[in-house]
Structure 1
């Protein structure tokens, strides 16, 4: 399972292509979980941990997709003109 840990850390540290990296990590984690369960049995703690890793990776992928926001014309304008009145954000 150390290979899966390395993949997870690489995915977490990478800012570009995070979803693609997570997709690869999920596929590798699924393969490792299946082999772990075949070796140790489906009722073993190692099997449960391996599938928990898969679940966590899938949840992170879902969160990354939700966090990706589609920019609209106001977002583009504010990126070019951060001091414009329309772009000011006030904390209350």
Structure 2
């Protein structure tokens, strides 16, 4: 699942990069359209970076999600 999401966002980054280049070619490299198009690319790259940092849950975390009342899943607050 994570690979599919990761590939999807990489595909979107490539598409947005192509659109940004086209916008800059048409409107000029100092135009607001060019800047906005590259902002969209940067936002997607930031999201891709964030997704890579998300670590998958370990087996205990998965178990506790399914069985929050289990003794192993109790949380004690100080």
Q: TM-score, normalised by structure 2?
A: 0.77
| 2:15 equivalent among 28, 36, 39 | 28
Deviation (angstroms), 1:90? 5.1
Deviation (angstroms), 1:19? 1.7
Q: Give the structure 1 partner of residue 58 of structure 2.
A: 72
Q: Give the structure 2 partner of residue 38 of structure 1.
A: 25
Structure 2: how far apart are the matches of 1:17 and 1:87? 31
Deviation (angstroms), 1:70? 3.1
> Which runs of at least 4 in structure 1 moved beyond 6 Å after TM superposition?
none
Q: Give the structure 2 partner of residue 86 of structure 1.
A: 72
Q: Name the CA shift for 1:86/1:16 in 2 (closer, same or farther; >3 Å).
A: same
SS in 2 for 1:17: helix
Q: Cα deviations across residues 45-89 of structure 1 (Å, max 9, x unaligned)?
A: 00000000000000111111212x233342354356432222123
Q: Which runs of 5+ in 2 are unaligned?
A: none
Q: Give the CA RMSD over aligned residues.
A: 2.3
Q: TM-score, normalised by structure 1?
A: 0.67
